[in-house]
Chain A
Amino acid sequence: MPVLLATDVLVWLLVAAAAGYALYCRRHAHLAAPWARVFRSPPAIASAVVLAFYVGVGLLDSLHYRPQLPQKADGGQKAYSVEVLSVLDWSLAHLRGRNEKTYSAPLAIRSFAREQVELPGGKIAREFPRLQFGGAHLAKEEHWASDVGWRVFKGLGFAAAILLAAAIGMRILRVRWPEVPWHAAVWALGGVLVLLMPALVLSGGYHVLGTDKVGNDVFYQALKSIRTSLVIGTVTTLVLLPLGIALGIMAGYFRGWVDDLIQYVYTTLNSIPGVLLIAASVLMMQVVIDRHPEWFATAAHRADAKLLVLCAILGLTSWTGLARLLRGETLKLSELEYIQAAHALGVRGGRVISRHILPNVAHIVIIAMVMDFSGLVLAEAVLSYVGVGVDPSTSSFGTMINSARMEMSREPVVWWALATAFCFMFVLVLAANLFADAVRDGFDPRVRVGALAKAAA
């Protein structure tokens, strides 16, 4: 039975909107030109490829359903599990169900902790027991190295095959778009595949990145966390954009008391320390949600509502920066001759805004949107650490760090959960930052630091 979570709807709406925008840009040369500039930069292409992988995982994780329970013999009504799964869970079913008892190191076949084991002779010994799933297919432990090696080799083979196909595909694309640096895309794709394919093949028999305290596979958790990050980074802008655009342009265009009022609202919001405002609002909403369990059909629905509320609160508290930028730009624009001419010709205010002002501030909106993304992803980790982030049952990088950080004081150190969260987050945020830089350089006619440097040299 398909399940439609609120964030799923928004995520897919965003995908549709992005597709619509891309089509619209293609038809209008002046809109396509800045994007063409963006995609001429090698870092932008490379980071776009990496981001595409993250988005792919996030989208697979945004198609939810409830699996059907085995039907009773009397042919009664179809029953569905209360557990909500996603297509990603389904495709990684071999990772989801197979929990160990507790920690185990990456690729380990024996547990991290000693346990009392009864020996065949009736004696009791403390030793590291074999894992239930990690390496359980190995008859002898000596086969471990050869088995891991063979799986890595197989994974690299898959990666090479896909990469070869992609390289050929890009040769064809190069004919159509010769100015795009396709070699950067191939390199980035190669990097992702070389890491991902062996990990996927290995995950068939091992816990590639180990298991956490309650025995969950860390690799699977990291993949699940991607969706949370992406939702926070994108759905928040859905809340932020309408507020920022409408209020910013109104303040700059109408001036007078409208301007005063809007400025008052955003100074007030700004003056409350961000973390505190967010923490206070999140705490309040959590109380409301916890008091009304009847609103939600399953635990997944409730966790999803909390995620959505977090996005809404982040959006409500962070539209002020965009509004201030747009207000300034609108003030400047409405002094220009063509706006004055529109006024003189008797064009109404609403039409001036939609025809003349909005298109001319669109680049600021796009730049703000991509620049905000990485900040929001980082903010989620901090908020979850403070305890006002996502629901504890939602996997996210913040909750992963939070549960893993205590283990740094163990001896020997349990480093893998933390390292995994670090790597996944670092790559995501780095790619987002690089892409955002390229977008800014492509869209903003003023900031061309490279050009400035050359002029100054």
Chain B
Amino acid sequence: MFAYIVRRVLYAVPILVGVNLLTFLLFFVVNTPEDMARMQLGAKRVTPEAIEKWKAERGYDKPLLWNAQAGGAGKATQTVFFQKSVRLFAFDFGASEDKRDIASEIGERMWPSLALAVPVFLVGLAVCVSFALLMAFFRATYLDLWGVVLCVAMMSISTLFYIIGGQYLLSKLLHLVPISGYQGGADALRFLFLPVFIGVVAGIGASSRWYRTLFLEEMGRDYVRTARAKGLAERAVLFGHVLQNALIPILTGVVAVIPLLFMGSLLTESFFGIPGLGSYTIDAIQAQDFAVVRAMVFIGSVFYIVGLILTDISYTLVDPRIRLQ
């Protein structure tokens, strides 16, 4: 088990190198530093000197991959690739366009993101599993049919509409909660209620339907028939046997998402003005601040890989038949 995890962690290194190469290609080769400078400076102030100054300030004035002028190891390290991409591995993200340290910014913004994402995740999981169980319990009845219809209808609504509709209904018409904004401490509850509620509702359709399929698949198995044959009540079969076994695919599917909770939800945060990592990323995209986007891409892929490893480990924990080697 330990050897397996070590191997998986080592396997992450080439993947992260690949991610870095890809972002490097996108951000520096397709779109040269000159283009970035032109875009940031705006059309009016573009002079060759201004561009050179802009590049020098951000360290983009070095050669891309190979510095023939520098001596010794500097040939490889005094380059844009080394300075900008390799340093990400040490979680050294540099500074954003407005000259703020990206790493400390991420440390600050992580908490509002978590405060939003963790409740959405936990409440969403509980609601969807219960709804799916309800549909599975009343399978092949009108309740089940209309439950599925509701799920498909809810799946067909864009997240944008959930957010806009929820804001309009709860905040503007009913004045229950503030439309957007954020404050730390106990006040955060007031601001978080609506985004959490919307996050949960927006996820119900797809997940409940998927969980219902898992439950029904599990119900067709032999051990369920055995349990019924020995006279167990339907409720005992459902909660004692089916739920436990169907939770295996649900949990392992969910574990992969847990590390990504740190990244926040891009849309919800920017709509509700929550100063988390999601809104940070969106702002960076809209302001074309590539240093921030690059840092977020890197962190995102690190978390994704952590999620993959956690998934594998969780398999062995919930299903003793699976051995990692």
Contacts and interface: CB of A to CB of B under 8 A. Distances in A.
A272 B301 contact: yes
Interface stretch (B48-56, B160-168, B188-196): B160-168
B267 A287 contact: no
Nearest to A402: B160
A397 B300 CA distance: 28
A285 to B, nearest CB: 8
A235 interface: no
A433 to B, nearest CB: 5
Interface in B252-272: 260, 263, 266-267
A279 to B, nearest CB: 5
A279 B289 CA distance: 12
A162 interface: no
Q: How large is the interface on B (under 10, 10 to 19, 20 to 34, 35 or more residues)?
A: 35 or more
Interface in B7-23: 14-15, 18-19, 22-23
Interface in B155-212: 155-161, 164, 167-168, 172
Q: How large is the interface on A (under 10, 10 to 19, 20 to 34, 35 or more residues)?
A: 35 or more
A31 interface: no
Given A386-B266, A425-B158, A449-B213, A281 B35 contact: no
B15 A280 contact: no
Contacts of A284: 26-27, 30-31
A280 B220 contact: no
Contacts of A374: 155-156
Interface in B262-285: 263, 266-267, 281-282, 285
Given A453-B140, A453-B216, A456-B216, A430 B31 contact: no
A280 to B, nearest CB: 5
Interface of A is mostly: helix
A456 B304 CA distance: 37
A273 to B, nearest CB: 4
Nearest to A279: B285
A28 interface: no
A164 to B, nearest CB: 30
B134 interface: no
Interface string A279-316: 11101100110010000000000000000000000000
Nearest to B163: A405
B156 A429 contact: yes
A418 B22 contact: no
A381 B220 contact: no
Given A275-B266, A378-B158, A283 B288 contact: yes
Contacts of A449: 213, 216
A381 B19 contact: no
Contacts of A453: 139-140, 144, 216
Nearest to B29: A284
A381 B157 CA distance: 11
Contact of B285 (A287, A388, A426, A437): A388
A374 B161 CA distance: 15
Given A288-B30, A385-B267, A449-B216, A283 B301 contact: no
A387 interface: yes
Contact of B220 (A265, A288, A456): A456
A265 B22 CA distance: 11
B220 A455 contact: yes
A42 to B, nearest CB: 13
Nearest to B32: A287
A117 to B, nearest CB: 31
A267 B15 contact: yes
Contact of B152 (A265, A279, A437): A437
A276 to B, nearest CB: 5
A52 interface: no
A264 interface: yes
B31 A268 contact: no
B293 interface: yes
Contact of A408 (B139, B172, B308): B172
A133 interface: no
B297 interface: yes
A454 interface: yes
Contacts of A430: 152-153, 156
B108 interface: no
A266 to B, nearest CB: 10
Given A272-B22, A276-B297, A276-B300, A264 B152 contact: no
Given A382-B267, A433-B156, 14 more contacts: A264-B14, A269-B22, A270-B304, A272-B23, A272-B304, A273-B296, A276-B285, A276-B293, A287-B35, A378-B159, A388-B285, A405-B160, A408-B172, A429-B155
21 contacts: A268-B19, A272-B297, A276-B293, A276-B296, A280-B27, A280-B293, A283-B285, A288-B31, A378-B158, A378-B159, A381-B158, A382-B159, A382-B267, A385-B160, A385-B267, A386-B282, A387-B285, A408-B172, A429-B156, A452-B216, A453-B216
Interface of A: 264-265, 267-273, 275-277, 279-281, 283-284, 287-288, 291, 374, 378, 381-382, 385-388, 397, 401, 405, 408-409, 413, 418, 422, 425-426, 429-430, 433-434, 437, 447, 449, 452-457
Of all A-B residue pairs in the complex, the 6 with the closest CB atoms, nearest first, are A268-B18, A273-B300, A271-B301, A430-B156, A456-B219, A429-B156
